[in-house]
Structure 1
Amino acid sequence: MEAGEGAGGPARPGGPGVRFGCASFNQDVTSLALGTKTGYKLFSLTVVDKLDCIHESAEICDVYIVERLFSSSLVVVVSTSIPQSMNIYHFKKGTEICNYSYPNNILAVKLNRHRLVVCLEESIYIHNIKDMKLLKTLLNIPTNPSGLCALSTNHSNSYLAYPGSATMGEIVVYDANIMSTVTMVPAHDSPLAALSFNASATKIASASERGTVIRVFSLPEGLRLFEFRRGMKRYVNINSLSFSPDGHFLCASSNTETVHIFKVEQMGSSGDASWSAYVGKMFTAASSYLPAQVSGMMIQDRAFATVHLNTSSQRNVCALTVIQKLPRLLVATADGHLFIYNVDPQDGGECMLAYKHRLFGADEDKDEGDKEIDGSENTVQACPSYAATAALPATGPVTPTLTGYSEDGGAKNGEVIPEHEFAAGPVRLDDENEFPPINWCRDGSGVGHGRRS
């Protein structure tokens, strides 16, 4: 599973017992997407004791990226068979919206209501999600072999975060709506491993490759607000970071058996920061003249709540959400299970397991002893098959016929398209007029090819 993503980030498992190629929660943690050797699956997360598979596709094999846009019908899929190509589907209609090809392998895809972001190792492509037009190409970014990036999900902006250095833990925060850099945050001494925005994009959390410290910074200022100590005995690989919907809690999972939940204290009624955050700011400001080992130790808190998984060294992705009016922690593990835990927002402590779901049906998983908490077998409802849809690879130039589109897709070598070509308002994928059944493909380097059906 890919390390360092937020609730909607892909998680790519590896090693023995791995059942799928990736797992990602959508932006509001109402569904879970799995990429498998035979396609992908989408599950609804609206109740605790039942896991409905709302869609299953077998059109593309060996899926290692699958991202769903909120609860819409738009889903983005990338396969190891064509790792330079991204396919975008309207899964309820069973049609392909479009596909893009890029110069190198796609490492991550992020979505919100305004933008679609594709991350390669040394470049990032920003598309307008309403019409999929390429708006901006960020070239020659620091080498980012894991494709680490995060995209905010709130309505007012589209903050994009990615590493600003291959050797240090610097965060670049970029506004993908107005195409300008917001701030650069010197977050860690070692390279970044995890990034996550809160829902309002007023904070960003980060962890480095060492995995011992998790820090939270204010946006757009980039001030350090909190520092949480995950552990001191050993370095770990942080698999994912995710804020709760209200932004009061932050969960972190790693390759150890423990998932940590930290409490991000609220602002006081007077508008001033809490005492802990105030002390954190003061010692951050003083770090220029205090010894590093002193200034770093004075602004740490331990986990507010924890979960202990049955196994360690297994990649996973975690998220905090509210299901049936109660706060829950969700953990999808590489061996094909989804664990749902109850979280006590007042007292914290060890979280209680509410339900364990198996993400594969009986035909796919023959393991014995896989039982629910009450001893009965875990099962998943049968999924409807994906309608036959022809995925169009970018095999050659085709003259585009979409009105108002230039042959280069409106952006080349980092050029921004004119303001009047930006989409007005958030996309509404439940409106068929917003996404007609078009099939076209584009080369992510800026050379566009395509046709409209």
Structure 2
Amino acid sequence: MSDIKKICETKKSSNGKFRINFNQDYTSLSVANECGYKLFSILSANKVDEIFNSESNVDTKIAERLFGSSLVSVVITRESNKLKIVHFKKRTDICEFKYPKNILSVKMNRSRLVVCLKDSIYIHNIRDMKLLQSIKPLPDNVSGLITLSLNSHLAYPCSKECGNIQIYDAGNLQPRILIEAHSTNIAAMNFSSTGSLLATASIKGTVIRVFCVRNGQRVMEFRRGVKRYAQIVSLNFSICGNFVSVSSNTETIHVFKIDQKAKEAAEKRQDKSALNESGDEEERTDERSGIMKAFSKAVETLIPVSTMLYQDRAFAHVQLSEPGLRYTCVVAKLEKDLRLMVACEDGFLYIYNLDQNGGECKLLKCHDLRGDYDITELNGNETSCESLNPPEVDLKNNEKIMTSPAFETSFAQIMKGKPVVDKQLSNVPVDVFPNNNVQMFDETNFPPMCQA
């Protein structure tokens, strides 16, 4: 019996969808579903180790790990208004918070923990979980869309009618600038690791824009597609800040490259949104002389936003064999090499090579995170099952030919029991309760750091 048949016959596919989330520096990921949550450490393209299993059999909605520490924020489905802070190595609950409505998302960095509800945002000091600020009321944010940078820049949508984004300084607890990002509502956004850039996408999903956080200037604009709208589900910067990876409900994942010259040019420019922090831009404009007004308009006209700062095509891409699922994608360095990691809601992690010249990314490894098997590794591209050797097939003329290892069915589809389709031979089967005695941090793993 072939290896493919054995896998198909012994498969234990998961009925539910997994909620997979990378940590802040992409060195770890959490996998949550109706059976609890697991934490994995990403050591290399070949090695993804399970380091924790809650084994709670409790439907987990959110599991967010803080870097490489033992701190995890957890929200379970049956108590969606309660946030638990867990020390997973000691298997102890540090504290609990109850909120007036269901928790939609949680973001953390070294100094702040931010909780997003439908119409409000709560900011905590992560050292003692003291509530520092609540931002409310806000326009309905049913998807819980917020993003928090490592230097505590917080961004959230602030309009029902259009894609305006408020930049808030969660470190100093004061609003910064308003960015008019899109004409339609925001579907996805994320900061670069330094918090200097913000990438955004609207519900149309055709255009990805990158803004300078300091002054609200548009740095670059990427066109994901023209012919059809798409639902953007993942939008992330690489840790180095040079790449933006985007996934949607279509069959392609795009990786765009940031032009550093465009970034420097945007940082030197001034924009109306930067002058409009107090809402008195018109008064400030009236103070200019007529010559200065003309000069400003000329400069704005000459700024090559639509030419030099505009890039039509993606730097790299991945063609998915199973579109329509939710894919979370990030670009990170693994063993000094750039890799594109793609986590799918079906419980598989794909790791691709990202060539320095771009182009189509080659699949290096596929890891099964579902727990039904040991972590599985697959070499080759996503439609190439080199590790699963198909049987010899007798043709009519009795000549024995080894079938090609290229299949239309992806590895994840095979593991979930779908029949294998060979491209050449179609008949091959196939409130808060803090515990003062428990420290918030494991000092050896994650020493406290002062806020910058």
Q: TM-score range by the shorter chain?
A: 0.7 to 0.9
1:81 alignment partner, SS class? helix
CA distance in 2 between counterparts of 1:59 and 1:200 reads 36
- Which residue number corresponds to residue 93 of structure 1? 90
- Which residue number corresponds to residue 44 of structure 1? 41
- Answering whether residue 319 of structure 2 is matched by residue 324 of structure 1, we say no
Shift in Å at residue 60 of structure 1? 6.0
- Which residue number corresponds to residue 237 of structure 1? 231
Where does structure 1 differ by over 6 angstroms across 4 or more consecutive aligned residues?
Answer: 285-290, 294-298, 400-403, 432-435
CA distance in 2 between counterparts of 1:58 and 1:126 reads 30
Contact 1:161/1:171 (8 A) holds in 2: yes
- Which residue number corresponds to residue 182 of structure 2? 188
Match of 1:107 among 91, 101, 104: 104
Alignment of 1:4-83 (within 5 A): 19-59=16-56, 61-83=58-80
Match of 1:273 among 250, 261, 265: 265
CA distance in 1 between counterparts of 2:318 and 2:436 reads 51
- Which residue number corresponds to residue 299 of structure 1? 310
Q: Cα 1:129–1:301, aligned 2, differ >3 Å: closer, same or farther? A: same
- Which residue number corresponds to residue 363 of structure 2? 353
Contact 1:130/1:434 (8 A) holds in 2: no
1:96 alignment partner, SS class? strand
Q: Cα 1:371–1:212, aligned 2, differ >3 Å: closer, same or farther? A: closer
CA distance in 2 between counterparts of 1:223 and 1:363 reads 49
Q: Cα 1:341–1:373, aligned 2, differ >3 Å: closer, same or farther? A: farther
The alignment's TM-score, normalised by the length of structure 2, stands at: 0.73
Q: Cα 1:272–1:62, aligned 2, differ >3 Å: closer, same or farther? A: closer
Q: What RMSD over aligned residues (CA atoms) do the two structures have, in Å?
A: 3.6
Shift in Å at residue 433 of structure 1? 11
Q: Cα 1:124–1:288, aligned 2, differ >3 Å: closer, same or farther? A: farther
- Which residue number corresponds to residue 362 of structure 1? 372
Contact 1:114/1:130 (8 A) holds in 2: yes
- Which residue number corresponds to residue 425 of structure 2? none
Contact 2:71/2:441 (8 A) holds in 1: no
Shift in Å at residue 17 of structure 1? 7.1
- Which residue number corresponds to residue 381 of structure 1? none
- Which residue number corresponds to residue 208 of structure 1? 202
Contact 1:167/1:191 (8 A) holds in 2: yes
Contact 1:73/1:430 (8 A) holds in 2: no
Q: Which amino acid aligns with 2:28?
A: S
CA distance in 2 between counterparts of 1:296 and 1:234 reads 23
Shift in Å at residue 316 of structure 1? 1.5
Q: Cα 1:208–1:272, aligned 2, differ >3 Å: closer, same or farther? A: closer
CA distance in 1 between counterparts of 2:445 and 2:328 reads 33
Contact 1:355/1:373 (8 A) holds in 2: no
> How many residue pairs end up in the alignment?
364
Higher helix share: 2
Match of 2:120 among 123, 138, 144: 123
- Answering whether residue 136 of structure 2 is matched by residue 139 of structure 1, we say yes
CA distance in 1 between counterparts of 2:163 and 2:171 reads 25
Shift in Å at residue 21 of structure 1? 4.0
- Which residue number corresponds to residue 242 of structure 2? 248
The alignment's TM-score, normalised by the length of structure 1, stands at: 0.73
Match of 1:170 among 158, 164, 174: 164
1:65 alignment partner, SS class? strand
Q: Which amino acid aligns with 2:121?
A: I
- Which residue number corresponds to residue 424 of structure 1? none
Shift in Å at residue 273 of structure 1? 3.0
- Which residue number corresponds to residue 7 of structure 2? none
Rg comparison, structure with higher value: 2
CA distance in 1 between counterparts of 2:261 and 2:158 reads 29
Contact 2:118/2:142 (8 A) holds in 1: yes
- Which residue number corresponds to residue 225 of structure 1? 219
Q: Cα 1:289–1:319, aligned 2, differ >3 Å: closer, same or farther? A: closer
Stretches of structure 1 that go unaligned for 5 or more consecutive residues are 1-15, 379-393, 404-426, 436-453
CA distance in 2 between counterparts of 1:312 and 1:211 reads 16
Q: Cα 1:49–1:340, aligned 2, differ >3 Å: closer, same or farther? A: same
Percent identity between matched residues is: 45
- Which residue number corresponds to residue 443 of structure 1? none
Shift in Å at residue 33 of structure 1? 0.4
CA offsets 1:69-118 (integer angstroms, 9 cap, x no match): 00000001111110001111000111111011100000000000000000
Q: Which amino acid aligns with 2:218?
A: R
Shift in Å at residue 58 of structure 1? 2.2
CA distance in 2 between counterparts of 1:36 and 1:223 reads 40
Q: Cα 1:287–1:252, aligned 2, differ >3 Å: closer, same or farther? A: farther
CA distance in 1 between counterparts of 2:46 and 2:121 reads 39
CA distance in 2 between counterparts of 1:81 and 1:23 reads 19
Structure scoring higher RCO (CA < 8 A, sep ≥ 6) equals 1
Contact 1:198/1:244 (8 A) holds in 2: yes
Shift in Å at residue 373 of structure 1? 4.9
- Answering whether residue 362 of structure 2 is matched by residue 342 of structure 1, we say no
CA offsets 1:382-408 (integer angstroms, 9 cap, x no match): xxxxxxxxxxxx5xx98x8979xxxxx
- Which residue number corresponds to residue 443 of structure 2? 430
1:335 alignment partner, SS class? coil
CA distance in 1 between counterparts of 2:18 and 2:300 reads 47
CA distance in 2 between counterparts of 1:65 and 1:105 reads 12
1:374 alignment partner, SS class? coil
Contact 1:287/1:295 (8 A) holds in 2: no
CA distance in 1 between counterparts of 2:258 and 2:29 reads 25
CA offsets 1:123-167 (integer angstroms, 9 cap, x no match): 0000000001111000101110000000002xxx30000001122
CA distance in 2 between counterparts of 1:237 and 1:102 reads 29
Contact 1:173/1:182 (8 A) holds in 2: yes
